[in-house]
Structure 1
Amino acid sequence: MIAALARDAKREAEAANERRVLVFAGDRDRGFDASYDAIEAVASDDREASESDDRETLARDDGETVSIVSTREGFRYEEHGPREADELLGRTRDVVVLDCHEQFVPNALGRCVGAVDGGGLLVLLTPDLDAWPERRDRFDDSLAVPPYDVDDVTGRFRERFVGTLRSHPGIAIASLGETPAGDTVERDGLVGSRGGTAAESDGRVTTPPTVPPNATFPAAAYEACLTSDQARAVRAFESLATPGTAVVAEADRGRGKSSAAGIAAGALALAGADVLVTAPTFRNTAEVFARARELVAGSDGDGDGGGDGGGSDIDGDGGRDSDGGTDARRLNVPGGGRVRYLQPAVAAELPDGPDVVIVDEAAALPVRLLERFLDESLSVAFCTTVHGYEGAGRGFAIRFRERLLDGPFAVRDVRLDEPIRYARNDPVEAWAARALLLDARPAVDEAVAGSTVENAAYRALSPDDLLANETLLGEAFGLLVAAHYRTEPNDLARLFDAPNLSARALVARGRVVAVALLAREGGLDAETRRRMYEGERVRGNMVPDVLTSQLRDEEAAERRGLRTVRIATHHAVRDEGFGSRLLREVHSEFEDETDYFSVGYGATPRLLRFWRRAGYRTVHLSTSRNDASGEHSAIMLRPTSEAGRDLLSHHAVAFRDRERDGLSDAHRDVDPDVVIGALRACPASAPVDLTEVEWRSVVGASFGPGMYDSAPGAFRDLALATLIGGEEAIDGEEAINGDDETSLDERERRLLVRKVLQGRPWESVVDELGYVSTAACMRALGDAYEPLVEEFGTAFALAERDRFTRE
């Protein structure tokens, strides 16, 4: 029965160039036996498994196996643990077997689906489907963050997932008995017999791409394309040879955009260009480099990039790194061209002056980082997945494109719709999109445009409500995907099942216009706090963990907090107060249940201002940058109880004292506007207690012939005192409507940060802030301290001032 089920599914999949899913539900060992029976049934005579293949290699005892079966070369087996599923990126397999018994990780499922080739099978080994939602596995353990335990985790995500298995075309389900004789077929998964996609229709495009007339890339670049969409994308990338050009390539996953970018990178490098490639991780660029290498190797005439004819090498040293292995992150090409990878935050500095930048998975990077690539001296390509398990990160499409179109670049758009490895109507793609909400998106603009804050209703989004209403679920999760570049399928499971998480929304005209994902933190017992203090990581308690392990406050995790994990407003009504209204409603609902509200995020001036006006205060700024975003993370608190106020007061003072010295050390390169925003939101006032000698130096530099270098510590104390927020509205509403006005203008505040607090060289400050000379910058610094002398000066200081101002 299993063999026949697999053969029928495989034959229909191959005929339609689609994929099929086989679900073997029941005992785990029986599931592995069934998967072998299925694989052997679909293996053709010329792809028989080798004698060395042993069924026991597939069924490992630890139960963490994501098992990959390949029939590409001699029908071989590979194994990957769930944490190794990323190794499937950019690879294709005829059959993928995913063991879901010991832990079912949504992210791993997304990667496995993407690895199955057209005509291939995805095999899922699951517990009995009716009982599965009630079972708890290792992934559930990860959701049971302290003080909760696994009994508090629900099974709603799997309940919904099972529903998709039983309702979508292309999915066969076999319930396994104790012996093969007891196996039953619940669904055969055949599409053609159900009136859906015809098994013979919509195969690969048969007309191969052609070399366009007047192409500037070599013919081999177009001959490497698999679809006409890819050829159109490569044609658009030709414009990157001209500085000041930007190309935006968008596609759903599996359409070959990264391959097209790689072909273009190789062609540009062959023409002598320095091509800098970046993406959230190097793994994301595997396809780019693979295609670039193939094109360059083919240009050597021997197909392997080597030989005596000047073939390409890697890193200029024979193609080897210091350990004797290939340096996959760099490809040097005869004639001086090259393709190289750098992490986004490093690449944004444009080291060594590249000619072309290719940003792959651009939607997964913050808009503020993307803007740093808009240098008119080069050309840049932004390639982005519209829908994928990585999360769509719609900030790219919504906000960054506006910035790009308003700039000086000549912008070309290209979209790839034709799937590379399977037919356009593949039912497995549609199933995965629904099961993991890969295509989740906010309500259409027209449905929410014109909505007002006053008419929006505040409501809880309970897991039961989301399970019962697919539209509500899609709009809410779609907003979370749109707002943050890291939202992924695991987050969908957390939304349904994690006991520490809850969601709240504003709904206008029946549509979700703003959503907040909230996490309960803290309230931990003394033993847990001790382990945390001694270095043990405690899941799901981000702010208590930082306060305890990094900032050395063992009692901090006793306080109960509510952290805003994500907050998102529909872009059609952004900047109209919906986010602030949603936060006020959250504060009102939960203020009696917590000691403080908190938030942690990649700090930007705009976000620092938003959270400060919502009453949140800075207690920490990370010393390192996020590799992908290039931003330092800020942690802010908004106290609701006396214990919360004590916690904030203690850590605000500590933050103030750290920054006085840290700004010239670990935070020396932080954006001055971020420094200003973080200090402005710190409620611990900075004391000014200068000696008469120090006042003479400050007053002399401000009103007379003195020099800054005579007392840098005194200047630092005054700069900190004027930039820091002090005791303003530590727990009141005044901060919500507060402003950022001080006695200094914007450039003067930046001058205080760059020169006085961060200790930058005069020449660097002059160039960055646009002063005409070092002398002019020095005079401006003295002028900036005049109002500070007036505000903070003692009687002695004011008398000293009068010596220079007396007519």
Structure 2
Amino acid sequence: MLGSLARDLRTEAHRANERRVLCLAGDGDPEPSLREVLDAASLDTADTVLLGHRDLAAVTRHEPRRAGALLGTTHDCVVVDLRDECRPNALGRAVGAVDGGGLLVVLTPPLDDWPRRRDRFDETLAVPPDTLDDVAGNVRRRLVTLLRDHRGVAVVDLDAGTVEHDGLTDPAPVRRSPPPDPPAEHAFPRVAYDSCLTADQVETVRAFESLRDPNTAVVCTADRGRGKSSAAGLAAGALAAAGRDVLVTAGDRRGAGELFARAREVLDALGTLADDGTDTVRASDGGRVRFADPAVATDLPEDPDVVFVDEAAGLPVDLLAAFLGRVPVGYATTLHGYEGAGRGFAVRFRDRLAAAADDVTEVTMADPIRYAATDPVEPWAFRALLLDASPPVEPLVVDATPESVEYVAPSPTDLLADEHLLREAFGLLVLAHYRTEPDDLARLLDAPNLSTRLLTHDGHAVAVALVAREGGLDTEACEAVYREGRIQGNMLPDLMTGQLRDPDAAGPVGRRVVRIAVHPQVQSRGLGSRLLDELHTEYADADWFGTSFGATPRLLDFWYENGYRPVHLSATRNATSGEHSAALLRGDSPLVDRHTGWFRERVGDVLADTLRDLPVDVVRRALAASEFTPPDLTDREWRLVAAAAYGPGQFDMHPGPFRRLALAALTDSTLALSADGERLLVRRVLQLHDWEAVADELGYYSASGARRELGRTLQSLAESYGTKAAHDERDRYG
């Protein structure tokens, strides 16, 4: 029975160049059944990959957390064992790695019982003081329904030995399209076009030809399986063959594997591949294709001629925009997928492209390469993991204002029952954050400490916030955390206890805003602030409110305007985003007072040390959001400041009072310093960059020009804060 079904599914999938899903559900040992499926469907165990915690059928196995190993690979069969851990990201990666004509085999407990069971992924959602019993099973409940109801999905009850659904669709045989013709005129070698499998790929490679010229950018978007990375790789290889130095970056090096493989293929076909045993693809005449992590790539190491950004939606827009105007750059990204939010990329990056001086070419790839357009597994995966979730279309929300919207507090059960609202809410999150992924859907529906709050306009979501309850640990637990240094799922108490060494930080109960997003059509109308106001009112009994994010001046200003104050800036950059994280708190409690005060006390020291390279405008906005403390200088220190401001004194001889004065000035909202003056205070006085570097970065013709501007800034501070000693010193110089 099972062998016959597996053979029929594989035969049908191969005939139509589609994929099929085979769900094997039951409590017994699935290995004999899995072996029967592989044998009957003529699937090579050497090419079959398993995601799970148990070895089965002698196939290559990866832990679900290591599902990224499938990036850039394709297989005739991928098995995902969901019995021990139902991790949505792993399921998404498994689907994406199955080739046309192949099978995705899903192992589950009995489907009727599955939503009530708890697994290893649920353990990550059970945030103290919640327990595993508090985790819901909504994601599995939803998945069970879609396994049973969707085309192309077969379900077998192994315990009963019955077939619930055979998953057969009787599709028409696939009609193979002839190879596409190369363009009549092309600058890249003919072999780059001979490798293209669709007309879409030909058009995309042709578009990448413009990267031979300065001040150019190409943006290629597509769903998975359309060959966008291959097209970028063919173009990269052609550029390297012409002697160009091509730098490739992506959130994950493995995900760029297809790009490098196609670049190597072009050079090999041209007979110019010079393989030196490294990951760099080299041409015999000096061209090359090499990789750098995103945060490094923005510095353009070794001055590349061209940059390719693969899976660009998985990176922050600020990082993507850093290449514009500096080097020809090609962006390739998935529209709907776990690598990143392609829809969000398209919307958020559009303004940056429009403002750039580059000549921008945009191209979209629609024709699937690895499977037919009629493949039923792609829409099943899109729906199961909400990969194609999107916010309301613009006409439905264009009139939304803070006065017209309604504050809505849906429970996870409410969202599960309202697919329309769930898709809109999750679509807003996808749109707003570059790393929203399927695991976030599970957190939204199942995590007991997480709440979803919305603003709706005529029933449509226009703003969404995810809010986590954190803290609330008893005295014994707080002491254990202080000694051992970790609290699962309690991000801010963990930071305040472990890094900032506050033994009492995990006791008070707080609310952390994990994500907040507003529909792009109605941004800058106060809807984000309105949503925060509602949260503050609903959770008025919270000891604190908090948030943490990759620090940018714009985001720091938004949170400052809503009453949040910084308590921490991370010393290291995120390897993907290139940003330093900021943590902010709001509230009238001893904990908030303690940590905002401690930040103000230590920030001067860390800016001269571990935060010495923090972007200057991030420092300005973080300090602007901090509590103002008037400068406390002795008479002698005021004379030193005034001598440097008006006379021959030098701040380098005694920098301490100048640093305290700069900190006061940069936290004083009533002081009207110029932006250039503030930047000088940050870079030279607080971060201690040398004069030449400061002058170069801030656009002064010389170091002496920067010195004179700092002198004028110090004069303003002496006039604003100076004592009689400062004014007497000033008068000495007329």
Structure-to-structure mapping, 1:301-450, within 5 angstroms: 311-313=273-275, 318-319=276-277, 327-328=278-279, 330-376=280-326, 378-450=327-399
Unaligned runs of 5+ in 1: 70-75, 193-198, 301-309, 320-326, 726-739
Unaligned runs of 5+ in 2: none
Partner of 1:800: 729
Does structure 1 residue 86 correspond to structure 2 residue 68? yes
Aligned amino acid, residue 589 of structure 1: E
Partner of 2:697: 768
Does structure 1 residue 617 correspond to structure 2 residue 565? yes
Structure-to-structure mapping, 1:262-281, within 5 angstroms: 262-281=233-252
Does structure 1 residue 628 correspond to structure 2 residue 576? yes
CA displacement, residues 500-552 of structure 1 (integer Å, 9 cap, x when unaligned): 00000000021100000010000112333233223343221000011011111
Q: Is the 8 A contact 1:437 1:489 kept in 2?
A: yes
CA distance in 1 between partners of 2:241 and 2:206 (Å) = 16
Aligned amino acid, residue 9 of structure 1: L
RMSD: 1.9
Aligned amino acid, residue 312 of structure 1: A
Runs of 4+ in structure 1 off by over 3 angstroms are 57-60
State the 1:393 CA deviation: 4.9
CA displacement, residues 330-370 of structure 1 (integer Å, 9 cap, x when unaligned): 22222121111111111111122111011111111111111
CA distance in 1 between partners of 2:124 and 2:577 (Å) = 26
Query: Percent same amino acid among aligned pairs?
Result: 54
Q: Is the 8 A contact 1:28 1:125 kept in 2?
A: no
Partner of 1:305: none
Does structure 1 residue 711 correspond to structure 2 residue 654? yes
TM-score normalised by the chain length of structure 2: 0.97
Q: Is the 8 A contact 2:49 2:79 kept in 1?
A: no
CA distance in 2 between partners of 1:631 and 1:391 (Å) = 17
Q: Is the 8 A contact 1:66 1:97 kept in 2?
A: no
SS at match of 2:704: helix
Q: Is the 8 A contact 2:553 2:618 kept in 1?
A: yes
Does structure 1 residue 200 correspond to structure 2 residue 189? no
SS at match of 1:562: strand
TM-score normalised by the chain length of structure 1: 0.88
CA distance in 1 between partners of 2:124 and 2:97 (Å) = 25
Structure-to-structure mapping, 1:135-214, within 5 angstroms: 135-177=117-159, 182-192=160-170, 199-201=171-173, 203=174, 205-214=176-185
Aligned amino acid, residue 748 of structure 1: G
Q: Is the 8 A contact 2:50 2:62 kept in 1?
A: no
SS at match of 2:732: helix
State the 1:77 CA deviation: 2.6
Partner of 2:262: 291
CA distance in 2 between partners of 1:455 and 1:64 (Å) = 50
Aligned amino acid, residue 682 of structure 2: V
Q: Is the 8 A contact 2:467 2:511 kept in 1?
A: yes
Q: Which of 209, 217, 233 lines up with 2:188 in the alignment?
A: 217
SS at match of 1:534: helix
State the 1:741 CA deviation: 5.5
CA distance in 2 between partners of 1:141 and 1:40 (Å) = 35
CA distance in 2 between partners of 1:482 and 1:600 (Å) = 19
CA displacement, residues 568-614 of structure 1 (integer Å, 9 cap, x when unaligned): 0000101111100000000000011x100000000111110100110
SS at match of 1:220: helix
CA distance in 1 between partners of 2:175 and 2:72 (Å) = 19
CA displacement, residues 430-487 of structure 1 (integer Å, 9 cap, x when unaligned): 0000000000011111111122210100011211111111110000000011111111
Partner of 1:652: 596
Partner of 1:488: 437
Moved more, 83-92 or 611-620: 83-92
CA displacement, residues 289-323 of structure 1 (integer Å, 9 cap, x when unaligned): 111122222222xxxxxxxxx7413xxxx32xxxx
CA distance in 2 between partners of 1:554 and 1:297 (Å) = 61
Partner of 1:64: 53
Q: Is the 8 A contact 2:50 2:61 kept in 1?
A: no
CA displacement, residues 672-718 of structure 1 (integer Å, 9 cap, x when unaligned): 111011111122x4453333332222111212232232322221111
Q: Is the 8 A contact 1:28 1:126 kept in 2?
A: no
Aligned amino acid, residue 614 of structure 1: N
State the 1:204 CA deviation: 6.1
Partner of 2:683: 754
CA distance in 2 between partners of 1:21 and 1:398 (Å) = 33
**Change beyond 3 A, Cα 1:66–1:219:** farther
Aligned amino acid, residue 624 of structure 2: R
SS at match of 1:598: strand
Q: Is the 8 A contact 2:22 2:105 kept in 1?
A: yes
CA displacement, residues 215-262 of structure 1 (integer Å, 9 cap, x when unaligned): 111111111112221111111111111111110000011111011111
CA distance in 1 between partners of 2:217 and 2:378 (Å) = 30
Q: Is the 8 A contact 1:170 1:190 kept in 2?
A: yes
Partner of 1:730: none
Aligned amino acid, residue 707 of structure 2: M
Q: Is the 8 A contact 2:226 2:368 kept in 1?
A: yes
Aligned amino acid, residue 775 of structure 1: S
CA distance in 2 between partners of 1:762 and 1:417 (Å) = 53
State the 1:59 CA deviation: 10
Does structure 1 residue 105 correspond to structure 2 residue 104? no
State the 1:633 CA deviation: 0.5
CA distance in 1 between partners of 2:546 and 2:50 (Å) = 44
State the 1:43 CA deviation: 1.1
SS at match of 1:718: helix
Partner of 1:306: none
Aligned amino acid, residue 83 of structure 1: R
Q: Is the 8 A contact 2:473 2:506 kept in 1?
A: yes
State the 1:205 CA deviation: 4.4
Q: Is the 8 A contact 2:325 2:356 kept in 1?
A: no
State the 1:658 CA deviation: 2.1
Aligned amino acid, residue 167 of structure 1: D
**Change beyond 3 A, Cα 1:65–1:92:** farther
Q: Which of 226, 239, 244 lines up with 2:215 in the alignment?
A: 244
State the 1:78 CA deviation: 1.6
CA displacement, residues 116-139 of structure 1 (integer Å, 9 cap, x when unaligned): 111111111111111111111111
Q: Which of 674, 680, 699 lines up with 1:745 in the alignment?
A: 674
**Change beyond 3 A, Cα 1:468–1:669:** same
CA distance in 2 between partners of 1:204 and 1:248 (Å) = 30
**Change beyond 3 A, Cα 1:678–1:205:** farther
SS at match of 1:804: coil
CA distance in 1 between partners of 2:288 and 2:241 (Å) = 8
Q: Is the 8 A contact 1:619 1:636 kept in 2?
A: yes
Q: Is the 8 A contact 2:50 2:80 kept in 1?
A: no
Q: Is the 8 A contact 1:32 1:59 kept in 2?
A: no
Does structure 1 residue 696 correspond to structure 2 residue 643? no
State the 1:743 CA deviation: 2.6
Partner of 1:513: 462
CA distance in 1 between partners of 2:252 and 2:673 (Å) = 41
Q: Is the 8 A contact 2:49 2:75 kept in 1?
A: no
Aligned amino acid, residue 37 of structure 2: A
SS at match of 1:104: coil
CA distance in 1 between partners of 2:460 and 2:133 (Å) = 34
**Change beyond 3 A, Cα 1:148–1:754:** same
